[in-house]
């Protein structure tokens, strides 16, 4: 069992490499989908949590708080992964225009890939953290977080804005950029 931040940094770096390979023109379309997914999950979190808790109790026999938290953590993680996968597979929302030549284009692709890696890994980590690391048998538990992890947890994507409606601002900016070309 290693520190949890190593797992999520590894996920973020993998997504960064994917973004570097795809290029920022395609990657920005995925960024848009990721931001919308975060908005949807955070905006409807209270309503979804109640419904999923009841389903978890009835369908999976989740009786204890830890079992219900495991159901909620898995639900949010799976829904987020499905939405992100949908944003990466098939036709994406490519941004028009001519990509910048290297090294500028490569640096932009790297930065957008890092952003997507942060958004994806950070959101997955957030749902583990919020529900008390119910899947923590494979990584460090919440009460054993390293000082680095305790600091990083404060900057996970869904914790950035108190009101989930603020996630619409970057979505709107990306949509305007895409339409204007």
pTM: 0.92
Q: Measured between alpha carbons, how far is 12 from 61 in angstroms, rounded to an integer? A: 34
Residues whose CB is less than 8 angstroms from the CB of residue 141 and which lie 6 or more positions away in sequence, other chains included = 133
Ordered per-residue pLDDT tens for the chain, 181 residues: 578 899 899 999 999 999 999 999 889 999 999 999 999 999 999 999 999 999 999 998 988 988 899 999 999 999 999 999 998 887 777 777 778 899 999 999 999 999 999 999 999 999 999 998 887 655 545 557 889 999 999 999 999 988 888 999 999 999 888 887 6
Residues whose CB is less than 8 angstroms from the CB of residue 1 and which lie 6 or more positions away in sequence, other chains included = 138, 139, 140
CA atoms in the 13 A half-sphere facing the CB of 20: 14
Q: Measured between alpha carbons, how far is 165 from 43 in angstroms, rounded to an integer? A: 7
């Amino acid at each position: 069992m290693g520190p949890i931040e190593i797992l999520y940094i590894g996920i973020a770096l993998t997504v960064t490499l994917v973004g570097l390979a795809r290029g920022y023109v395609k990657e920005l379309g995925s960024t848009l989908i990721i931001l919308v997914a975060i908005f949807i999950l955070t905006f409807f979190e209270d309503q979804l949590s109640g419904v999923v808790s009841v389903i978890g109790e009835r369908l999976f026999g989740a009786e204890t708080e830890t079992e219900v938290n495991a159901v909620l953590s898995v639900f949010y993680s799976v829904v987020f992964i499905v939405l992100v996968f949908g944003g990466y597979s098939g036709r994406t929302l490519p941004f028009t225009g001519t990509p910048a030549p290297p090294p500028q284009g490569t640096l932009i692709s790297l930065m957008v890939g890092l952003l997507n890696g942060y958004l994806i890994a950070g959101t997955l980590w957030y749902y583990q953290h919020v529900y008390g690391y119910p899947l923590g048998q494979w990584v460090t538990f919440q009460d054993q977080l390293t000082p680095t992890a305790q600091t990083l947890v404060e900057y996970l994507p869904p914790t950035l804005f108190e009101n989930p409606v603020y996630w619409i601002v970057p979505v709107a900016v990306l949509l305007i950029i895409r339409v204007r070309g």
